[in-house]
Structure 1
Amino acid sequence: MSADAAGADLLAEARALLAAHPVVDGHNDLPWALREQVGYDLDRRDIAADQRAHLHTDLDRLRAGGVGAQFWSVFVRSDYAGDHAVSATLEQIDLVHALVARYPDRLRLALGADDMESARAHGRIASLMGAEGGHSINSSLATLRALYTLGVRYMTLTHNDNLPWADSATDKPVAGGLTRFGEEVVHEMNRLGMLVDLSHVSADTMRDALRVTRAPVLFSHSSSRAVCDHPRNIPDDVLEQLPGNGGVAMVTFVPKFILPEAIEWTRAADVNMEANGFHALDTTPDAMVVQRAFEASHPRPRASAATVADHLDHMREAAGVDHIGIGGDFDGTAFTPDGLEDVSGYPNLIAELLGRGWSEADLGKLTWGNAVRVLRDAERVARELRDRRPSIATIQQLDG
């Protein structure tokens, strides 16, 4: 059999597997892209139509990719502060509710593991929400509870900058991990049943959260630091704690987090963006003109589905197959790996893993089973803590 024929067979096998075990993707920034590009005007970016000229995500490509559930990130940039961060997060949440209402034949809001299973049974993509950064609660546990009431089911403790109560992976350490108030945030998330997401946080914050949590944690979009030495990735000693905790680490596709050669290239591209008046995370059309011009004159190192599979091979070895998943970060990155250009590409990753000898049972855990289980386990812990009163602690009381 030719290599092309073998590849076609693996791809067909991957698509069949995803029909039985669809992808739960831990992180997609479509809400922020819609905010930045069209100010939430869904008539101008109708994701029922082909949006490949503007977005990594639309409904037909989600179906082609075998996606059965999506955690939509209700991200706001970490330079948003105070009430501005809170109100912008509420606008992001409102957008997700608007998407679900606009496309009821394709999307269904999911508030828990049972909802995920029900949506899948009815042919809908289960739509969950994750808040990307504790700046979204403005150091308020009442605001945290309000986000949960509105449907947010994980919160990433930090984004790219430190908080008064937690250190970020990409900022200078100040707290040395979590402060006392940061630990209280984790306890309150456990009480609610909101997953503690440790992507973006420093390694010491990861370790502190694992020490204090009663519930399994999540890494919604992080890869292996042993394979690519970037501070956004997960050290092996943390991965090795996941079996005892029950958590799940969801590999991401962002080239600078998976390909060592891409780290310096991306740093230079970010400097170029800022020199041209754009935020480094900007993916609006005007910003992408600047990015593509830089790429044309400075050819970028190319990641691929095989690069991502290298991370998954290592993460499976370090954490075990019951503790890994997928969190692509589509529409939150300017560049993507070859074969994983958009949300239709998941079959290419599954085909790569099949070619490496991954079993259907193991792949079913990677794509669907582990993510559903971790949310169900967080719900169980919340039931065990139902008699605990909501915390009224403040950061001034605990850290002042």
Structure 2
Amino acid sequence: MTPRCRPRGWITADLLLTLSLALSACDAAAVNNPYAGRAVPTPVTVSGSRQYARVSAGFFHSCAVTAGGEGWCWGSNEYLQVGVASTPSRCEQVSCSRTPLRVAGSLMLVDIAAGVTSTCALTTVGRAYCWGGGYPGVGSQLGDSAIVSSATPVRVKTDSTFAQITVGGSHSCALTAGGTALCWGGNQFGQLGNGSVTSSATPIVVSGTLRFASISASSTTTCAVALSGIGYCWGSNRWGQMGVGDVPYNSLGLAEQRPREISGDLRWAQIAAGFEHTCGVTTSGTALCWGLNENAGQLGNGTSVSHRGVPGPVAGGRSYDGITAGAVATCAHTPGNELYCWGSNYFGGLGNGQTQALGVNQPVKNIGGSFRGGEAARHHSAGLGSSHGCAIKTDGSVSCWGDAFYGQTGDR
């Protein structure tokens, strides 16, 4: 299997540019990095002296929830994803903020999830709110039935209360306290999991009787861990990112509209869906990845294989207790409160103090210090975007690294 370039479907020109650069524009000989000036390869502390409980990295923005329940976002606001009523400053012709802005309203939050063009959050009573979605044709991802974008939080239209939430490309999903999964938004690949490819402007229940402990949405795929520890995925399987068996690359997009069990008879502590790859940590602490690899090396297995359709071990043999996946990179947390990352490092997105035109196909240590772990490592204590990442340190501050073109590192 050899690397190749391919179209990105619904991805905008701006997103395509960043992904293409992160993949070295499919040119393995490109050893110079003319974009290094926009990179922050060594983790920096986000501005302000707040203590944070949750953090999430979207494609070009980042968001976090303080220990007191306040929501804060920073970075690009091109799609209204920062959640403020007034227009922030501008970064390179795009509305943005290089420092955290308080999300509009007086909502008390317990969780937050940043996606490509939208952000969603949960309140202390389990209500879901979303904002953003300013890209034409994907406004339905807010779940409020209006199918329009919003610069400030709007209530997701459902009577359900939730314990977890995740945001992908044009869809979002959430879990009730009992483990029922509901999804809303775009559904062109079956990523809502209800047996159809019809989009929904309000939450719909994922097919079947499965109950889940955690859930993760990518651009067009959704994966979740059942209460039994078995992993399931649904949606796009173009590069084998569902992990249900080796598949040839399919430019039209292989897809599953209902949950399918991940191969390997494994029991998972967490699964994290990236752009077109997926990684997970088993209950025994082993990290495995599957899906797209190409030049970026986001599977972390030390090879240049283009893709794989079943879980394979990450190189290095370390034990991990949490994992997060971005567009073309992955980071995992060790019981010793260290982060190890692999994949694209074009903009310093691995946090190891370097920028590299070629992907790093095995774990390297993030040099940001000591990061919060344990149960927190599996619930938005770290996140990766298109080419940047953020994580909560053991002292409660947030550090970010990587591409800072739109202020997504929040330190300026």
Which is helix-richer, 1 or 2? 1
Choose between structure 1 and 2: higher strand proportion: 2
Normalised to the residue count of structure 1, the TM-score between the two structures is 0.31
Of structures 1 and 2, the larger Rg is shown by: 1
